[in-house]
Chains A and B, each alone.
Chain A
Amino acid sequence: MNEQQHIIGYKKLVGTWLALLALTALTVAVTRVELGGFKVAAALAIACAKSGLVIAVFMHMRYEGRLLRWLLFLALATLAIFIGLTFFDVLYR
């Protein structure tokens, strides 16, 4: 039983791909500049944007129901908490 028949058109997909390529170029450009620690944050932020696009469009999440989106948030929050709590140790030794 197919609950939703939402089909993402080719144009939208190619447009997303172009945006991803642009962001990739941006990542490379940003990290060629000597920004020290800010490099990490910038690159990670752009990576998050890229993955957001892949998840929302390629993986269809933009058109899915609330449940799936909340569960994704749960999984990401879990990973963030694992890393965060570990850093209570690593940062303060």
Chain B
Amino acid sequence: MTDNTQPAVSSFWNDTGKSGIASWVFSTDHKRIGLLYFYATFGFFLVGVLLGLLLRLELMAPGRTLMGAEAYNALFTVHGVVMIFLFIIPGFQGSFGNLVMPIQIGARDVAFPRLNLLSWWLYIAGAVIILTSLFTGGGPPDTGWTFYVPFSARTGTNVSLAVFGVFIVGFSSILTGLNFVTTIHRMRAEGMTWGRLPLFVWSLYATAWVQILATPILAITLVLVMAERMLGTGLFDSGSGGDPLMYQHLFWIYSHPAVYIMILPGMGVVSDIIPVFSRKPIFGYKFIAFSSLAIAAFGSLVWGHHMFTSGMSDTAIWVFSFLTFIVAIPSAIKVFNWVSTLYKGSISLEAPMLFSLSFILLFSIGGLSGLILGAAATDIHVHDTHFVVGHFHYVIFGGAGFAFFAAMHFWLPKFFGRRYAEKPALVAWALMFTGFNILYFTMQVLGMKGMPRRYYDYLPEFASLNLVATVGSWILVAGLIVMLVNLFRGLMWGVPFEGNPWGGATLEWSTPTPPPTENFIDEPIVTHGPYDFSGIEP
């Protein structure tokens, strides 16, 4: 039996004439860089899952189960830092943005291929620095991924090194955003007007703007935290005349828009997948495109909703609460348009579609709990409880995470030239969907009942629900394992994936599988929209 691990045809995997690891880690090909990002960010996702499992094991029963308070503080801090800064923020843009976007606009590569490679190396450098901070000095930071002062200025753990690592990762993010905006403006193929761009590209464009405009604020904030610790600047220290709330403002000015970096590409993937598996053009293309821009814009105005109980002025509280309700509108527009696309469509429930449909449900549930959080009065009751933790896992994991899995099933076969097996994919989805809801819905109930977040212990009355949630985490991870084994086996040794099995109408489906380094044999001339399926059969 011949070794089927490599695709037989000449493609970006083997048509450069170079081989070995150096041809990958020094490659300026957006597809290779995309895969490098994918391996790295997804690897960190798995690390984050492991940490999450440990957290749930500790919370399985009241009192000390596996670890004490200090270890627990470090654990949820690292879980957050890894998941947010090393997986979901860089992951979508870096992997699927890089892999797919240039092809979708009909370009050979991004505008600045060498800068793209630098972005990846900066990400790796930042990741290494963050990992180093876990094992050196005072040990892993225990402040939560939000690094609030005054604790982050005073704790003996390795905060300075960790935030420096995040700073470097942020720089990577800025360069990627800059690269993508330039690429989308300057490198669209002939006939690829803004009105014919796939909605995934629109979402990446909006995301890139957030990366450019918001990340620098994080950069200066982290530098100032290092200055507090190392120079004693006192800018956030009330004893020195500083204001701890200014840290919170600066931190959330970035970190709220950051959640739109996390979700917008996911929404873009869903907008691309649903038409394909409904055999219908997307309903309300312009609305979805502009809603991506609106979410990026309005999402930059709402950061104060993380600070309702912090001591902020009442004026600020109602201004931010009002703006938070406004930002829900463009997201709702997307949901209506997706559902309208499904209506009277010829729907096939394959893995990419299942993950996309569950995205809509899970993101909506998360969005609804967000309304409770966005209304300042009700937020006071649930702030800093597990209600918040449940909320953001619904939107980040059930939303962005499931969209990431959808993208994996949808696009990775295109780039590997082989596909996964369908039945195990559906089984995996079912396990994950079930486990996910058992884990996180229970968590929201716990939060509503008053269980605080970031505590390693809790009142005995919360014990049974915590046990239920932990069991949910095991079911979720079981599904994850099935999904990963299925994908790995399929992409390595599975049935060849040739032609256009999904029946997509966007440009990536018109190239050879896997694509050659140049992406296109002849430079494409675009004559129809991205969801015009006439003449295309799956």
Direct A–B touching in the complex (beta carbon < 8 Å)?
yes
Binding site for B on A (CB under 8 A): 67, 74-75, 78, 81-82, 85-86, 88-93
The residues of B that contact A75 with a CB separation of less than 8 Å are 213
B interface residues, tally (CB under 8 Å): 19
The residues of A that contact B303 with a CB separation of less than 8 Å are 85
Complex contact B313–A89 (CB within 8 A):
yes
The residues of A that contact B315 with a CB separation of less than 8 Å are 88-89, 91-92
CB < 8 Å: which of B213, B301, B314 contacts A92? B314
**Known pairs A85-B319, A89-B316. 17 more at Cβ < 8 A?**
A67-B185, A81-B300, A82-B217, A85-B304, A85-B320, A86-B249, A86-B253, A88-B313, A88-B315, A88-B316, A88-B319, A88-B320, A89-B249, A89-B304, A89-B313, A90-B313, A91-B315
Say yes or no for B495: interface residue by CB 8 A criterion.
no
Give the shortest distance, in Å, between B175 (CB) and chain A (any CB): 16
A82-B253 contact given A67-B185, A75-B213, A89-B245, CB 8 Å threshold: yes
Say yes or no for B339: interface residue by CB 8 A criterion.
no
Give the shortest distance, in Å, between A67 (CB) and chain B (any CB): 7
Q: How far is the CA of A90 from the CA of B315 in the complex (A)?
A: 10
Of all chain A residues, the one with the shortest Cβ separation from B303 is A85
CB < 8 Å: which of B217, B245, B301, B311 contacts A85? B301
Say yes or no for B312: interface residue by CB 8 A criterion.
yes
Give the shortest distance, in Å, between B292 (CB) and chain A (any CB): 15
Q: How far is the CA of A86 from the CA of B253 in the complex (A)?
A: 9
CB < 8 Å: which of B213, B217, B312 contacts A89? B312
- Quick one: CB contact mask for B412-438 with A, threshold 8 Å, 1 for yes? 000000000000000000000000000
The residues of B that contact A92 with a CB separation of less than 8 Å are 313-316
The residues of B that contact A67 with a CB separation of less than 8 Å are 185
The residues of B that contact A89 with a CB separation of less than 8 Å are 245, 249, 304, 307, 312-313, 315-316
The residues of A that contact B314 with a CB separation of less than 8 Å are 92
A-contacting residues, B279-321, CB 8 Å: 300-301, 303-304, 307, 311-316, 319-320
A-contacting residues, B300-350, CB 8 Å: 300-301, 303-304, 307, 311-316, 319-320
A78-B213 contact given A67-B185, A85-B319, CB 8 Å threshold: yes
Q: How far is the CA of A92 from the CA of B313 in the complex (A)?
A: 6
What are 16 residue pairs bridging A and B, where the CB atoms are less than 8 Å apart in the complex?
A78-B300, A81-B301, A82-B217, A82-B253, A82-B300, A85-B304, A86-B253, A89-B245, A89-B304, A89-B312, A89-B313, A89-B316, A90-B313, A91-B315, A92-B316, A93-B312
Q: How far is the CA of A89 from the CA of B321 in the complex (A)?
A: 13
Q: How far is the CA of A56 from the CA of B303 in the complex (A)?
A: 33
Of all chain A residues, the one with the shortest Cβ separation from B310 is A89
Q: How far is the CA of A23 from the CA of B461 in the complex (A)?
A: 70
The residues of A that contact B245 with a CB separation of less than 8 Å are 89
Q: How far is the CA of A81 from the CA of B314 in the complex (A)?
A: 19
Give the shortest distance, in Å, between A66 (CB) and chain B (any CB): 12
Of all chain B residues, the one with the shortest Cβ separation from A90 is B313
Q: How far is the CA of A75 from the CA of B213 in the complex (A)?
A: 7
Give the shortest distance, in Å, between B491 (CB) and chain A (any CB): 40
The residues of B that contact A82 with a CB separation of less than 8 Å are 217, 253, 300
Q: How far is the CA of A74 from the CA of B303 in the complex (A)?
A: 19
Q: How far is the CA of A82 from the CA of B245 in the complex (A)?
A: 15
Q: How far is the CA of A67 from the CA of B185 in the complex (A)?
A: 10
Give the shortest distance, in Å, between A7 (CB) and chain B (any CB): 23
A-contacting residues, B219-267, CB 8 Å: 245, 249, 253
The residues of A that contact B307 with a CB separation of less than 8 Å are 89
The residues of A that contact B249 with a CB separation of less than 8 Å are 86, 89
The residues of B that contact A91 with a CB separation of less than 8 Å are 313, 315
Q: How far is the CA of A67 from the CA of B312 in the complex (A)?
A: 38
Interface centre among A67, A89, A91 (most CB of B within 10 A): A89
Of all chain B residues, the one with the shortest Cβ separation from A86 is B249
- Quick one: CB contact mask for B496-514 with A, threshold 8 Å, 1 for yes? 0000000000000000000
Give the shortest distance, in Å, between A38 (CB) and chain B (any CB): 25
Give the shortest distance, in Å, between B244 (CB) and chain A (any CB): 13
Q: How far is the CA of A92 from the CA of B311 in the complex (A)?
A: 11
Of all chain B residues, the one with the shortest Cβ separation from A88 is B316
Complex contact A93–B313 (CB within 8 A):
yes
A-contacting residues, B161-186, CB 8 Å: 185
The residues of A that contact B312 with a CB separation of less than 8 Å are 89, 93
Of all chain A residues, the one with the shortest Cβ separation from B181 is A71
Q: How far is the CA of A81 from the CA of B311 in the complex (A)?
A: 21
